[in-house]
Amino acid sequence: MRYSPKFVYLRGMFKVESGRITSFLYGSIAVFAAGLTGCASIGSPGGGLFDETPPVLKNSDPANGATHVKRQRITMRFDENIKLDNANEKLTVSPPQEKSPIIMSNAKTLTIELGDSLKPNTTYSLDLGNAVQDNNEGNPMDNLALLFSTGDHIDSLQICGYLLNAADLEPITGAYVGIYRVDEGDSVLANGASADSIFLKRPFERAGKTDAYGAFKILGCAPGRYRMYGLVDGNTNYRYDLASEDISFIDTLITPSMDTTRVVLLSFNEGKLNRYLDDCRRPDSVHINVRFAAATRCRGCPSCWPMTASSTPVTCSWPRSIRRATR
């Protein structure tokens, strides 16, 4: 095919003569491409405002306030993806569980599998505190709690308060505050146990856990009168059985209510130490090295006072005749 000898303008910018693309076309394309490359810059796209909204609980199974619940699996669904912050430490199940619950999160769903079988005709409370956060900014959802019952009604009363250190009035964090229901007779609990020894033998009937400010709340309480104790639980069995555990109590009976009346407990340590002979050696005929597992005193030797528990044995250098005379 032959082209007539004339000039044709391509897109109003490049010219073609006799069907041949002139060198002007190639040069223009090269300059145009270089200009595009020079204008490009690499950078991150600008973002919007930070998300400051915590997750919102959309629904749960069982629902909050549900009755006749039989399943040990609890599912909560939120309006956005979530993550957990020390959920195993912050979750408080009441009545307390002997086996630790299993907590899992996946996208917008939180699942809690209770380790113990559910008791009949009992109100259960699950208090997660601020363990649930949004996945992006970590905004916590405060005071997340769920109540349900295995019977036909919900016990909805509560007891709130603070647990403080008796020595300096600083808040105690991560301690349990629990209650035992008392029968009409002040010295006997509702289950027939002695009120004086129940704290040493049985776990709390209901319990709450203190937050960073020492505040606690015990949910799902039935009407009645209760004895209350605080416990820095060293082995998480909800009873006072270790000498190293700090305790607190109120010498009056507590009645739960619907309001937020605050009870204040002061925590202390009884200073109990299990004393036993840890090591005894006789390096020569006039010396005996004795080491105890707790602080003690050598009754007949003023130079040994006080003998303390340590890795270094304490040497009693007094003659045996004097020690016998001073006992």
Q: Is the pLDDT of residue 263 over 70?
A: yes
Mean pLDDT to the nearest integer, 39-50: 60
Mean pLDDT to the nearest integer, 113-129: 94
Mean per-residue pLDDT of the chain:
79
Q: Which residue has better confidence, 189 or 61?
A: 61
- Per-residue model confidence as pLDDT tens digits over 136-188: 889 999 989 999 999 999 999 999 999 999 999 999 999 999 999 987 655 55
| CATH code that applies to domain 57-149 | 2.60.40.1220
End-to-end CA distance of the chain: 133
Return the pLDDT at 312.
Answer: 42
Q: Domain spanning 157-267: which superfamily?
A: Carboxypeptidase-like, regulatory domain (2.60.40.1120)
Mean pLDDT to the nearest integer, 266-281: 79
Q: Is the pLDDT of residue 247 over 70?
A: yes
Mean pLDDT to the nearest integer, 81-101: 92
Same fold? 57-149, 157-267: yes
- Per-residue model confidence as pLDDT tens digits over 305-326: 444 444 444 444 444 443 443 3
Return the pLDDT at 235.
Answer: 87
Mean pLDDT to the nearest integer, 93-111: 94
The domain segmentation of the chain, as residue ranges, is 7-38, 57-149, 157-267, 277-326
Contact of 220 with 193, CB cutoff 8 Å: no
- Per-residue model confidence as pLDDT tens digits over 189-202: 555 556 667 888 88
Locate tokens 């505040």: which residue?
Answer: 215
Q: What span, in angstroms and rounded, lies between the C-alpha atoms of 204 and 229?
A: 9
Mean pLDDT to the nearest integer, 120-148: 93
Mean pLDDT to the nearest integer, 226-246: 90
83: pLDDT confidence band, cut at 50, 70 and 90? very high
Mean pLDDT to the nearest integer, 239-251: 89
State the number of CA atoms in the 13 A half-sphere of 309 facing the CB: 11
Ranking 67-71, 165-169, 192-196, 288-292 by mean pLDDT, the lowest is 192-196
Q: What secondary structure, in 3-state letters, does the chain show?
A: CCCCCCEEEECCCEEEECCEECHHHHHHHHHHHHHHHHHCCCCCCCCCCCCCCCCCEEEEECCCCECCCCCCEEEEEECCCEEECCHHHHCEEECCCCCCCEEEEECCEEEEECCCCCCCCCEEEEEEECCEEECCCCCECCCEEEEEECCCCCCCEEEEEEEEECCCCCECCCCEEEEEEECCCCCEECCCCECCCHHHHCCCCEEEECCCCCEEEEEEECCCEEEEEEECCCCCCCCCCCCCCCEEECCCCECCECCCCEEEEEEECCCCCCCCEEEEEEEECCEEEEEECCCECCCCCHHHCCECCCCCCEEECCCHHHHHHHC
Return the pLDDT at 291.
Answer: 80
Locate tokens 């919900």: which residue?
Answer: 154
Return the pLDDT at 308.
Answer: 43
Return the pLDDT at 192.
Answer: 52
Q: What span, in angstroms and rounded, lies between the C-alpha atoms of 252 and 153?
A: 28
71: pLDDT confidence band, cut at 50, 70 and 90? very high
Q: What span, in angstroms and rounded, lies between the C-alpha atoms of 314 and 288?
A: 9
**Torsion sign (Cα): 158, 164, 166, 169:** negative
